[in-house]
Amino acid sequence: MNQLDALKQWTTVVADTGDFKQMAVFQPQDATTNPSLILKAVQKPEYAHLLQEAAQQHGHAGVGAVMDHLLVRFGCEILRLVPGRVSTEVDARLSFDTAATVAKAQDLMALYEARGVARSRVLIKIASTWEGIQAAAQLERAGIRTNLTLLFSFVQAVACAQAKVQLISPFVGRIYDWAKAKAGASWDEQAMAGANDPGVQSVKRIFDYYKSQGVATEIMGASFRNVGQIVALAGCDLLTISPDLLAQLTSADAPIVQALDARQVPAQATVVLDEAAFRFGLNEDAMATDKLSEGIRAFVKDTLTLESLIQQAITA
């Protein structure tokens, strides 16, 4: 049994890519996308036609409309290959606007439904800002399931639990990146690997809290830098993994043990957060504050680049 098959014993494997033609090889249950992954995909010859078709069919309605149709087209193509769900991300420029996030999510879901896709197969990805989490709470009550992304801290996870969101995506690799950069020359890669990895520890803390509290929100570890981080989270509800790391797992057969087990979590006190407590708690976490802001800026940058490509296609 290779490591990918072994991992699937305890964890739902999700493909983190816009390159949907790679998915059949790894047979993931779900798939996730984001603006950066879609941008990367449409610049490949095998996917360029999807952008051209969206521009030709919907260019008269403007760049924004083409963008929405392009995202949903990728999602629909992915859903042909995975049995579960696809995550499609709301424009990161709306990360601090609850009403606009809700409206954009409703627009995307309407496009999916117009293509015959059931709501149960789509997760709307939203940045884990206070405004984003409140938007997710509204959407969940309306029957639109959400995936709260760019999640780096315990307070973000607690707020998501209170909002009863469907799924959260705590980032592992970017926490690791921050800690390694902060440590500089004193960083000991071997000592900070596996269960000692700061990103792994962040997800484990959230996992233990959610399971001890009976929180129904699914936990999907994301943003991995190496196989060791993935193996150290075997047993997490879901893990979304890039094709490169999926390939490494497929080609390796070293034993994997279940690292996270909901039956063995310690009892924990309930945490309740209002907006002020959330904002203060996030502010006190320098890593989470830095990485949330950085992540939003990066997604906005790639969204703008993708819009530029769409505009070129419209006017060509």
C-alpha span between 34 and 227 (Å, rounded): 21
Of 168, 252, 149, nearest to 209 (Cα)?
168
DSSP 260: -
The token pair at 50 is 């999807």
Q: Can 211 be counted among the known catalytic residues?
A: no
Task: Look at strands 146-151 and 218-221 and give their pairing.
Answer: unpaired
Of 42, 64, 56, nearest to 315 (Cα)?
56
Question: Which residues have C-beta within 8 Å of that of residue 214, sequence separation ≥ 6?
Answer: none
Out of 8, 21, 104, 125, pick the active-site residue. Answer: 125
C-alpha span between 124 and 166 (Å, rounded): 10
Q: What does the angle CA 213 – CA 29 – CA 147 come to, to the nearest 5 degrees? A: 50
- Just list the catalytic residues: 125
